[in-house]
Amino acid sequence: MEKKWDVIIVGAGPAGLQAAITAAQQGLKVVLVEKQRDISRITRSCCQMLIMDNDYQNEGISVKQGKIVFTRNNFEIDYDGPTVDINEKYYLSPRGHKIHFSHQGRQPIGLRYDKGRLLQQLLQQCERLGVEFINSAITRDAHNSPEGISVRFSRGGKEQKLRAKKLIVADGVNSKLAACLGFNQNRTHFTTALCIMTVMEGVKGFEPHTFKNANGLVYGSKRPILMGPTLLGDNTMDLLVSGDTELKPKEIFHYFTTQSPLAYMFEDAEVVETTGCTLKACSTIPVPYKDSALLIGDAAAFVEVQVQGGIMCGYHAGIAIVRELQGKKGFSEYTRWWNDTFEFNSSDFLRVAQGYSLSPTYNDDELDYLFSLTEDEVLEGTLSQYKTPRLMWESILRHQDRIAREKPEIHEKIKALDSMVLA
């Protein structure tokens, strides 16, 4: 006899796991389907930092006594793993001019944490609540209707099918089910990035508790190269490079560590671990539900929601499912929260993103000039990918009369690309 489920959740990342916890806490029968055998093994490049801004995604999280607390959304999750504070952030120009972000009291702007341990603890809570976990399962497709949902997957060479009243799709940034269920029909594909993240040991001169962003073609890439702390000690570094099919990330990594202005840092360094991923940047899905299916987290986002955003998506998705099954408008309520919370859903997001672009929009000499204007300041501490460029350009454009006088060609470029900031 086929087992009846209230909700199927596909994807055991932070969003899917938290959705399962929230739904199960409300007494729903939940089954969680995941392609990986062991979710605590991180085999794909991903963000492992919590952003500690007190207004990031309309939330201000804290970490204390084995818990990550979501103070405004009013829930908490277990986490007893290690953390490393990130107190400073620097944007570096080709010749080493710095834009510095830090709080006056140097309180953390971010925390490096163990994502594998976090996922393991979320799964343990799912299991205590009676969530059935099906791992090593490759989801094939789903059939959606107002009356319910069916999901077909293969496991161990055998095809299986699950049926439920509702479906939560949480299978990540390159979501197979989003395409299968027709959510991608009106999305715009902007670019595809190929990324590798390398843990390096024996790095010279890397300041512990800092996050750095190297900009300019002199570093070997058209995109910023990111450097941050690990959990393995002060002489280690996470190094993230991104490229494409024409300029592959391995080529960028080799150039950056052997020929760039920062190559001296890696003269005696060794690679401890390398992971990779492919990211498709697509327009967001403003209405992330159809019939009995709800799309959450990275699957509906412009690139990513970050881990803390994924956990919040899962929490609100679990509540939405409960309310839907009570005959209320849970999916509509989730949609309002989704659009109000994530900045990439705003109507001017892409215009802002384009206006804030650096390399290769500005050449290396232009970046050096712009960064030099503001390097004597310390800007507000933040790791937010949205707040950072706003603060940076506010600082630079306080010098716009000087830019117009000394570098009229740069001033014209800024006006053309970023008219909103100059308005």
pLDDT for residue 419: 58
Kindly give, in sequence order, each residue whose CB lies less than 8 Å from that of residue 340, ignoring residues fewer than 6 positions away: 58
Rounded to an integer, what distance in angstroms lies between the CA atom of residue 63 and that of residue 53?
A: 13
Asked if the model's pLDDT at residue 27 lies above 60, the reply is yes
Quick: pLDDT tens for 81-90: 999 999 999 9
Residue 321: predicted pLDDT: 98
Rounded to an integer, the average pLDDT of 51-76 is: 95
User: Which pLDDT tens digit goes with each residue over 232-258?
Assistant: 999 899 999 999 999 999 999 999 999
More confident residue, 135 or 358: 135
- Indicate if the pLDDT at residue 2 is higher than 80: no
Residue type, 309: G
Task: Give the pLDDT band of residue 353 (cuts 50, 70, 90).
Answer: low
Please give the pLDDT value at position 423.
46
pLDDT at 422: 45
In terms of C-beta density within 10 A (0-12 exposed, 13-18 middle, 19 or more buried), how is residue 408 classed?
A: exposed
Q: What is the pTM of this model?
A: 0.94
Q: What is the mean pLDDT of residues 289-307?
A: 95
| Res. 310: pLDDT tops 50 | yes
Burial environment of residue 323 by CB neighbours within 10 A (0 to 12, 13 to 18, 19 or more): middle
Task: Give the DSSP per-residue string, 207-265.
Answer: PTTEEEEE-SGGGT-SS-EEEE--SS-TTEEEEEEEE-SSS-HHHHHHHHHHTSTTGGG
- Encode 51-75: b = buried (16+ Cβ within 10 Å), e = exposed: bbbeebbebebebeeeebebeebeb
Residue 86: predicted pLDDT: 97
Q: Is the pLDDT of residue 45 over 50?
A: yes
Residue 173: exposed, middle, or buried by beta-carbon count in 10 A (0-12, 13-18, 19+)?
buried
378-379 and 98-101 strand pairing: parallel
Taking a C-beta distance cutoff of 8 angstroms, is the pair 233, 209 a contact? no
Identify the pLDDT of residue 416: 82
For helices 330-341 and 306-325, the axis angle rounded to 10 degrees is 160
Any idea of the CA torsion for 37, 39, 40, 42, to the nearest 10 degrees? 100
Whether the per-residue pLDDT at 418 is higher than 80: the answer is no
Instruction: For 139-190, write each residue's pLDDT tens digit.
Output: 999 999 999 999 999 999 999 999 999 999 999 988 999 999 999 998 999 8
CA distances from 148 to 163, 232, 376 (A): 7, 47, 60
Residue ranges and CATH numbers for the domains of the chain are 5-48+114-186+283-344 (3.50.50.60), 190-282 (3.30.9.90), 349-422 (no CATH)
pLDDT at 421: 45
What is the average pLDDT across 112-129?
97
Provide, rounded to the nearest whole percent, the portion of the chain with pLDDT above 70.
96
Model confidence at 350, pLDDT cuts 50, 70, 90, reads low
Structure-model confidence comparison of residues 142 and 352, the more confident one: 142
Q: What is the pLDDT of residue 211?
A: 97
Q: pLDDT band at residue 280, thresholds of 50, 70 and 90?
A: confident
Q: Is residue 420's pLDDT more than 90? A: no
Amino acid of residue 400: Q
pLDDT at 48 over 70: yes
What sign has the CA pseudo-torsion 104, 109, 114, 117?
A: positive
Mean pLDDT for the stretch of residues 400-416? 94
CA distance 204 to 227: 13
> Is pLDDT larger for residue 415 or for residue 141?
141
Determine the Cα angle at 134 with ends 129 and 137, to 5°.
155
In this structure, how many other beta carbons lie within 10 angstroms of the beta carbon of residue 297? 33
Per residue in 71-83, pLDDT (tens digit) is 999 999 999 999 9
pLDDT band at 358 (very low <50, low <70, confident <90, very high): confident
* Residues 6+ positions from 176 with CB-CB distance below 8 Å: 139
